[in-house]
Amino acid sequence: MEKQVKFDKVQVYIYGGEDTAVYFEDNEYKLKDESEIARLFGLEPFHFANVLVNENTCELNAFNTYNWGAPIVLDGVYCEDMNFALVNIHRGGDARGNYSAPYICETGMDVDAILSQNTELYIALSDGTEYHLHCDNGEAYFPFDTFDPYCIDFDEPLTKEQIAELNEKCKVYRP
């Protein structure tokens, strides 16, 4: 009798400037806390506008990460020439409202992380096999035909098609 292999753990990691965090785990969104999001992207509360005293020579570009389906919704402006961004963190509900007080992001690496929102999918199976897939679209969308990583039935065994697709699309680590 062939051993039935099941999903054991499914996680989506999001990369900040220098850190990563679990964005989604086992059918549940995890990264909801405003202070954790601020830490991940290197955001500091924007209390004093005088930090912008020398920034008046650059053009500000507006953005709302909701518009391109990014995992974390941030609304703000950034300046490419000066490597800073002013952002508000979305706190849930309709993406047109319910934002935090402003934060400033003062390094280019952190601004890039805000705009690109790179993610990686991690899947562990009950037989110890692990899969990793880097998301190349900035939306935390992983293009599988045989299952949805955001809606896993942990009680059902994987089909041959699901295992074949994982082996085809992901980096595989076997015990």
Specify the pTM: 0.88
**What would the pLDDT profile of 123-146 be if each residue is shown by its tens digit?**
999 999 999 999 978 899 999 999
Parent domain of 58: 1-175
Which residues in the chain land under pLDDT 50?
1
d(CA 142, CA 110): 24
d(CA 156, CA 110): 40
**What would the pLDDT profile of 80-90 be if each residue is shown by its tens digit?**
777 788 999 99
Q: Are 148 and 24 in contact (CB under 8 A)?
A: no
Q: How many domains does the structure of the chain reveal?
A: 1
**What would the pLDDT profile of 9-18 be if each residue is shown by its tens digit?**
999 999 988 8
Q: Are 20 and 168 in contact (CB under 8 A)?
A: no
What is the reported pLDDT for 54? 61
Q: Which residues of 124-160 are buried (b: 16+ CB within 10 A; e: fewer)?
A: ebeeebbbebebeebebebeeeebebeebeeeeebee
d(CA 72, CA 70): 6
Q: Which amino acid belongs to residue 44? A: E
Full strand arrangement of the beta sheet holding 61-64: 44-45, 103-105, 84-89, 74-79, 61-64
